[in-house]
Structures are given as structure tokens and as C-alpha cells.
Amino acid sequence: MDSKNRYRAEDLLSGRIPQGEEDHISDSERELADEIKIAVKSAGQEKLEPLEAAALWEKIAESTTLKTKRVSLKPYLQAAAVLLVAFGIGFWQYSKNTPTHKLMEFAAQNLNKKSPDAIIEISKDKTNKGTDISLHDDIITTNDYNTVVVGEGRRSAISLPDGTKVWLNSGSKLIYPINFQGDTREVYLEGEGYFDVRHDKQHPFFVRAKHMEIKVLGTEFYVSSNTESDQNYAVLVQGSIAFSTGNWLNRVEKKLVPGQQISIDAKNNNVHISQVKTTEFEAWKAGYVDMQSEPLDEIIQRIARYYHIEISTGGLDLSGERFSGRLDLQRSVADVIQTLCLGTPYTYNDSERRLELKKR
Amino acid sequence: MSKEAYRDLWTSFINGDDGAMKLLYTEFADMLYSFGLRFTTDTELVKDAIQDLFVDLFKYHRTLAIEVNVKSYLFTSLKRKICLVLKKRAAEINQHFEIPFLLSGSMEEQIINDERQSELLGKLSRQLELLPSRQKEALYLRFNSELDYEEISAIMNVSLETCRTLVYRGIKQLRERMVVSHIYKILA
């Protein structure tokens, strides 16, 4: 027997190839073994939704003496809006002592602090109805506000005291009051978030951020978004929102209908409305990327944008590797890319965040 | 997480560190959830079993052994809990219960590199579904949950050699069916 053909896929995968004889298997058998691994790996990959995982943990904590807080994860009756937004830091001029002023002042004081000693206290206040549904990120409670900080390369979902759900992207921060008081519900966002706003006509919901504010008007869903750090935009998926930017005389107000994206150029105070496909934003919320015969390098750059990191493809020509299907982003960046690279001649080096040619 | 890290986490859990339990949960919830769904399509049953499992862990943490393989311990306990319920349900309607292993690759979930590969993977997942339950379980634990043979042997309650044989036979069968279907010939 030709030494190349001494072993087969089953020998390789069950570890029956003796040391030193790893080369005695043909490339096609090796490839088939890889394909079988992928087939097994991709069958049965169900995951708990972040909200489900958190609700389940709450039940466990309640049944043990780990009861640190009581949480009500009631079914969401009606959502007013779903929205994806991305913003940088920036502050409006608000009249003093209004809830908005207090929120913006708090954001101004706390978000720019870089050093860890700026973080005041991590408390699990029993009166805190803000539900920490994230299992990874810190919710810092200071005065009357919770600040959620999502670490690099992570995504998070939280539930606000009114039942509004927010999905936050890597590197984002959200500030919201421990309890919504007064006539409005207001939150402050830096980064990217997808909002599913609970319907409450008496208490309109505002998302405040650098250069813009969004008021939730309708009774259905909407999404708004932004990805680039110096470019702000919002995308409405369902429902209705009012978007405003600028101060005083420069103030611009627009109402959006579903499927519209509004972008603002902060320098010139220009506002531009365009039609977009909302499916990608919904996919972002759900944590997957749909690919249709997309080359590997483009997919990798999409993943890098999702997680706000840079990934080097080291000058490799990846255009020949095309993928179709659904890529699950619930795991870490490294896991996602490694899964993607199975069956390609490449491997991902997590510590240097770059793609390399696999050594056989 | 490495085996050593699991052991450290386990040790601090047994020693009464509350934070360790949440870490255990965070680390294993998804893995256990998808493993549980191999025995039933009832997601509520699986979630209840996971809850039960962690509540039990907490209740009995003082009496748990330190020298335990955390992964196989959790997988085994979950499987036992789920199968117990399934067995009871089957008995209620006078049916014989045999431990199933549900493994069907959904094409949507797969990452597919070009059309030829997509066809091959589709074929593979269909063939995978047809393998005997025990072979599917061994393949799943080895290549999906990425457990080692020692852990698999504990979960499946068979010898190390039997585990290897189950994996070997499963792969062999898949390969042979690929050859029959001619798709493999294109690759060869």
C-alpha cells in the first residue's frame, strides 16, 4: 500500500494514527475529515438567548441562598419601538434641574473618566428594578443612575426598569436611571445599541447622545443606528421616531418611517435621509451575520466592525474563499473566526489578531 | 478554559464561593443547553433540568468531591435528569424508552464555503442524522463539545476503547456513504 494512503479519515479523527506517521494519509482524506468535523460542529449549536440565560440564572439564584436581588422579567406586552443607535460623546445645552439636565450632567461627569478609580461603587441595590440581564458586563450604580459598560469584543443585552430591552455592542456605554421618574423616560448612549422600547404613551422614551436625540413616538418598533465613530446615524426598523439634532437656530427635526436611515454630519449640521434594508440591523441584534457567497476578507472585516477591533489579514489573498450561510456571533471574536477558518487553509492568531496560513 | 482552571473554579465553588457558581453557570449554560437538546426538542424541559442541576450543585456543594472532572460531571448529571423525565413521560403512555440522540444539521446554521462544499456538508449532515444514537453521541461530544475520551467515557458510561471505537465507526460509516454518493469522488 502506498504510504500516503495507509490511513483514512476515521483513523485520523479517532486518534489512531501512531506518532510519526501523520503524513501517511492523503490530502483528500484529510479534507474529508475536516468536513466531517465541520458537519458535526454545526449540528446542534443551540444557544440560550442572553435574556433567557439571565432569566434562568435568576431562577437558580432565587432557589438558592444566592438571592442577591429580585428581578421581574415579565413578558413584554407591547413594544413601542426597536432602535439601533450609535453615538459618540457630546452634550446638549439643557435648562438646569430638569431630568434631562441631570442625566446629561451625570453622563458628562462620568463617561469621560478614564481611570478605574472613577468607578464609584458596584452595588446591587435591592430597590434597583433595572435588571442586569448581562452575564459579563458591569452595571455600576452611582447616585440614581446605572451605567452599563460593555467590554471590547463583547456584546450585551439589558432590560431597563420599564421593560425596554437594549442590545449593546462592543465598547458601548448606556446610562439610565434606576427608576424612571417624571413624565419622560430618558437614557444616554455612547456607542451602538438596538432598542426595543416598551410601549407607554404617557411616558415618551428619549435616547440622548452626542449630536442627536431620538424621541419614540409610535406604538410599534423602530431601529436606529450608527457605526463610524465620527458619523452618527439612526435606522428605524418599525414604528415611528422623531430625530433631532443641533441647537437653537440650527435645530433640525425629522420624523422617520420604517426602513429609513438618517445620518448626520455633525460638522456641517447636515442631515441626510436614505432607504436601507433593515434586515442587517435585526441580524445584528440577534447576533448573527448572513452571508451570500461573500469572500472571506469581507466577512472578516464585517466581524471586526461588529466587535470594534482591527483584524489583519496579513496581505493574504482571501478572495478565493467564499462563504454562504449564517454566522453566529454569540461567542468571542476568536471563536467566530476560528469556526470560519475551519476547512480553509488559514488559521486565526488571536493574540496578534491576524490571519495566518495554516501549517500542515 | 483549561482543565486546571475548571478545577480551580470547582474547588472555590465547593469551598462556598458564591461568585464561582455564577462563573460555572456562565461557562457551561450554552454547552449544557445544546447538549440537553440532543435528547429532547422540549426547550423548557432542558432549561428546567439546567436549573435543577445548579440548584442541586448548590444544595450539595459541601458533599461534592473535589477530584472530579467538572465537564463530564455536569454533562452526566444533566443527561440523567433529562432522561429520567423522558422515561417517566414514556411510561405514562406505556411506551418503551430508549435514549435518543437528535443530531440534524440545519443548513441555515452552517457556514458554507462554496457550492461544492455546501453540497457535501448537506449530504454529511443528512448521513450524520442516520447514524446510531451512540455513535452520534460520541461524535458530538468529541467534535462539538470538544471533550476528551476520558470525559466522553464518563458521560456515556463505557470504556475509553469503546468511545474510540464509536467515533471510529461513526466516521467510517460517514466516509463510506460519501463514497457511495459519488460526491466524495470529486474530492478524491
Helices (H) and strands (E) in chain A, counts: 7, 18
| Residue ranges of E strands in A34-181 | 79-87, 138-142, 145-149, 156-159, 165-168, 173-177
Say yes or no: A299 and A174 in one domain: no
Say yes or no: A169 and A274 in one domain: yes
**CB-CB: which of B22, B58, B128 is closest to A57?**
B22
Yes or no, beta carbons of A39 and B25 under 8 Å apart:
no
Residue A331: predicted pLDDT: 67
Residue A123: predicted pLDDT: 32
Number of A to B CB contacts under 8 A, please give it.
164
CB neighbours of residue B78 within 10 Å: 23
Yes or no, beta carbons of B143 and A340 under 8 Å apart:
no
* Ramachandran category for residue A107: left, alpha or beta (phi over 0 → left; psi -120 to 50 → alpha): alpha
Class at the top of the CATH hierarchy for domain B3-92: mainly alpha
Residue B94, min C-alpha distance to chain A (Å): 29
Q: Any idea what the CATH number is for the domain that residue A232 is in? A: 2.60.120.1440
Residue B34: predicted pLDDT: 93
Nearest residue on chain A to B171, judged by CA atoms? A10
pLDDT band for position A116 (cuts 50, 70, 90): very low
Average pLDDT for residues A202-225, to the nearest whole number?
A: 68
In sequence order, what are the beta bridge partners of B100? none
B178 touches chain A (CB under 8 A): yes
Report the SS3 class of residue A60: helix
A39 is a domain residue: no
List CB contacts (< 8 A) between A343 and chain B: 113, 117
Q: Any idea what the CATH number is for the domain that residue A318 is in? A: 3.55.50.30
Which of A252, A280, A308 is at the close of a domain?
A280
List CB contacts (< 8 A) between B142 and chain A: 13, 40
Average pLDDT for residues A266-290, to the nearest whole number?
A: 74
Residue the block writes with cell 432522561? B83
A33 is a domain residue: no
Average pLDDT for residues A1-25, to the nearest whole number?
A: 83
Contact criterion met (CB below 8 Å) for A236 and A260: yes
Residue A39, min C-alpha distance to chain B (Å): 6
pLDDT in tens, A225-236: 443 445 567 777
Yes or no, beta carbons of B144 and A44 under 8 Å apart:
yes
CA–CA gap between residue B44 and residue B85 (Å, rounded) = 12
A4 touches chain B (CB under 8 A): no
pLDDT band for position A77 (cuts 50, 70, 90): very low
Scanning A147-206 for CB atoms below 8 A from B yields none
Residue A248: predicted pLDDT: 58
Predicted confidence (pLDDT) at residue A252 exceeds the cutoff of 80: no
A244 is a domain residue: yes
Say yes or no: A263 and A294 in one domain: no
A56 touches chain B (CB under 8 A): yes
Say yes or no: A105 and A208 in one domain: yes
Average pLDDT for residues A193-204, to the nearest whole number?
A: 83
**CB-CB: which of B30, B108, B174 is closest to A47?**
B30
Cell of A126: 435591592
Cell of B35: 447538549
The CATH code belonging to domain B107-187 is 1.10.10.10
Q: How far is CA A81 from CA A201, A242, A335, B30, in A?
A: 12, 12, 32, 29
ipTM: 0.87
Per residue, the 3-state secondary structure of B110-153, as one string, reads CEEEHHHHHHHHHHHHHHHHHCCHHHHHHHHHHHCCCCCHHHHH
pLDDT band for position A115 (cuts 50, 70, 90): very low
Q: Which of B177, B175, B140 is nearest to B155 (CA)?
A: B140
Yes or no, beta carbons of A46 and B113 under 8 Å apart:
no
Residue B108, min C-alpha distance to chain A (Å): 6
Residue A122: predicted pLDDT: 30
Scanning A313-342 for CB atoms below 8 A from B yields 321-328, 330, 339-340
Residue B16, min C-alpha distance to chain A (Å): 11
CA–CA gap between residue B167 and residue B57 (Å, rounded) = 31
Residue A292, min C-alpha distance to chain B (Å): 9
**CB-CB: which of A44, A60, A344 is closest to B113?**
A344
A52 is a domain residue: no
**CB-CB: which of B25, B51, B174 is closest to A36?**
B174
Yes or no, beta carbons of B112 and A323 under 8 Å apart:
yes
CB neighbours of residue A79 within 10 Å: 21
- If one compares B116 and A71, the residue with the highest pLDDT of the two is B116
Average pLDDT for residues A48-62, to the nearest whole number?
A: 84
Yes or no, beta carbons of B111 and A326 under 8 Å apart:
yes
CA–CA gap between residue B51 and residue A315 (Å, rounded) = 48
Say yes or no: A267 and A329 in one domain: no
A170 is a domain residue: yes
**CB-CB: which of B34, B50, B118 is closest to A44?**
B34
Nearest residue on chain A to B56, judged by CA atoms? A64
Cell of A92: 446638549
What domain range includes position A159? 79-280
A188 is a domain residue: yes
B130 touches chain A (CB under 8 A): no
A199 is a domain residue: yes
A9 touches chain B (CB under 8 A): yes
Q: Is A132 exposed, middle or buried (0-12, 13-18, 19+ CB in 10 A)?
A: buried
CA–CA gap between residue B46 and residue A166 (Å, rounded) = 26
- If one compares A193 and B90, the residue with the highest pLDDT of the two is B90
Residues of chain B with pLDDT under 70: 105-117, 180-188
Residue A204, min C-alpha distance to chain B (Å): 35
Say yes or no: A188 and A129 in one domain: yes
In sequence order, what are the beta bridge partners of B112? A324
Best residue in A40, A289, A292 to probe B by mutation, most B CBs within 10 Å?
A40
Nearest residue on chain B to A35, judged by CA atoms? B121
Domain tally, chain A: 2
Say yes or no: A112 and A164 in one domain: yes
Residue A150: predicted pLDDT: 78
Whole-number mean pLDDT of chain A? 71
pLDDT band for position A102 (cuts 50, 70, 90): confident
Q: Is A261 exposed, middle or buried (0-12, 13-18, 19+ CB in 10 A)?
A: buried
- If one compares B166 and A217, the residue with the highest pLDDT of the two is B166
CA–CA gap between residue B153 and residue B147 (Å, rounded) = 10
Yes or no, beta carbons of B113 and A321 under 8 Å apart:
yes
Residue B180: predicted pLDDT: 67
Say yes or no: A194 and A308 in one domain: no
Domain B3-92 shares a fold with domain B107-187:
no
pLDDT band for position A89 (cuts 50, 70, 90): very low
Which of A280, A301, A330 is at the close of a domain?
A280
B62 touches chain A (CB under 8 A): no
Average pLDDT for residues A265-272, to the nearest whole number?
A: 70
Predicted confidence (pLDDT) at residue A75 exceeds the cutoff of 70: no
Say yes or no: A223 and A204 in one domain: yes
Nearest residue on chain B to A50, judged by CA atoms? B30
- If one compares A184 and A356, the residue with the highest pLDDT of the two is A184
**CB-CB: which of A9, A39, A327 is closest to B121?**
A39
Which of A228, A251, A280 is at the close of a domain?
A280
Cell of A328: 453566529
Nearest residue on chain B to A47, judged by CA atoms? B30
Domain boundaries, chain B: 3-92, 107-187
A35 is a domain residue: no
* Ramachandran category for residue A308: left, alpha or beta (phi over 0 → left; psi -120 to 50 → alpha): left
- If one compares B92 and A213, the residue with the highest pLDDT of the two is B92
